[in-house]
Amino acid sequence: MNDNIEHEGEDRDDSAPVQEARLWQANGWTARVIKNEDDEGWAVAMYKEGEPEPALVGPWTMGRDKKNPKPLDVNAFNTLVKTASEVIRRHEQHLHAILHKETTVGTEDGELTVTLDIVPDDDDPYAILAATDMMGEQLAKVRVPAGFKLTAASAEAWIANGFRAPRG
């Protein structure tokens, strides 16, 4: 007798992957086929585990009866995971580009890399301005307003001012 057979009325094993026509869960992702409210069609929403909002929502193919959605399958799910992962990766790269700025400044002692990392706190946003030498040793680090503009000129002025926190 096979003890792994699920009997009606028994609780499912929550760790087992869900593989249904309109709901597919595996590897930290959930694909949910939903009615497209804007028209007669269907859409698929991809959720990353632990995230309240979908990483990706897109149109979904109609089934052969032209009324119901095409059922999810392993190939479609894997393609959706790959696409949603790419969307998240691009979003993270964009966010990093917005929150992290870097410039290089030549000094008598060699080149210094000056970075600005914005901390987007809802109550008290700020940024960290830091200088690192060619060997990777941090020479200075100060807190500045989140609106501080890092340019080669502002970095040179900060260095010339002995790494004292710039105003404004």
48-57 pLDDT, tens digit each: 999 999 999 9
Confidence of residue 88 (pLDDT cuts 50, 70, 90): very high
**What pLDDT is attached to residue 79?**
95
Tell the residue number behind the tokens 């993270």, with chain if given.
92
Confidence tier at 166 by pLDDT (50, 70, 90): confident
Mean pLDDT, to the nearest integer, of 98-113? 93
Split at pLDDT 50, 70, 90, the class of 167 is confident
Predicted confidence (pLDDT) at residue 80 exceeds the cutoff of 50: yes
Q: Are 85 and 27 in contact (CB under 8 A)?
A: no
pTM higher than the cut 0.85: no
Is the pLDDT confidence value at 38 over 60? yes
Distance CA(66)–CA(78), nearest Å, equals 24
Q: What percent of the chain has pLDDT above 70? A: 90
- Alpha-carbon distance 114 to 148, whole Å? 13
User: What's the CA gap between 100 and 129, in Å, rounded?
Assistant: 10
pLDDT of res. 135 = 93
Q: Tell me, what's the pLDDT at 4?
A: 40
Among 14, 42, 27, 41, CA closest to 77: 27
* Closest to 168 (Cα-Cα) out of 140, 145, 152, 142: 145
Asked whether residue 120 carries a pLDDT value surpassing 60, the answer given is yes
Looking at residue 6, its pLDDT comes to: 41
E strand or H helix at 74, and its extent? Answer: helix 74-99
**Helix count and strand count (H, E) for the chain:** 2, 9
The label of the residue with tokens 């700025």 reads 101
Q: Mean pLDDT score of the chain, rounded to an integer? A: 88
DSSP string for residues in 26-47: ETTEEEEEEE-TTSSSEEEEEE
Query: Quick one: pLDDT at residue 15?
Result: 61
Is the pLDDT confidence value at 13 over 60?
Answer: no
The token duo for 36 is 């497209």
